[in-house]
Amino acid sequence: MARLSKPAMNNVVIVAMLLMIALFNLDSFLPHSNTPVSQTLLPNDAYVLKIEHDNNALERSGQQWRQVSTATELPMPTVQYANWQRGILLPVVDPSEDLTAITPFIVVVWMAGSVEGLVYAFYPIEGATIVRHNNQWYTLENVALIQLLPWISRNA
């Protein structure tokens, strides 16, 4: 067996350490795709304080929910919030509809511990609802827009 000098052994250790660092960071060298993935409408671990749309709101009051709206005959606030929790956003590469003619419903969801709210733009089209969130396009699934914003049928 060949004997290595002390400086040569140091070089072997340095090269071995560099290879270990590269091996552990291999995933950071791989390209990441920018395609959105399906997600729930509200983050799973979020503590939602308020959901606002125009002059209407669904807000937390202690352990309960209450609606602030000029509309009457609204569903129970807990049912409305449960619909927000059930909603799923499925990614759409590029919406086929021309959405420039449609005025979106802008909704802001305020969460505890967050300075900025989550902003959603809902575009109701025939048979579906297109959602723009974080500069990505999605289709709303599992719930209808009227279940999330029950006051829109009375204001629209």
pTM for the model: 0.73
Coil, strand, or helix at residue 64?
strand
Token pair in block for residue 28 = 């950071």
Express each pLDDT in 80-131 by its tens digit.
Answer: 899 999 999 999 877 776 787 888 999 999 999 989 999 999 999 888 899 9
CA 57 to each of CA 79, 88, 151: distance values in angstroms, whole numbers, following the listed order: 14, 21, 10
CA 16 to each of CA 9, 25, 26: distance values in angstroms, whole numbers, following the listed order: 11, 14, 15
Cα separation, 104 vs 72, whole angstroms? 23
Domain ranges of the chain: 39-155
Count of alpha carbons within 13 angstroms of residue 132, beta-carbon side? 13
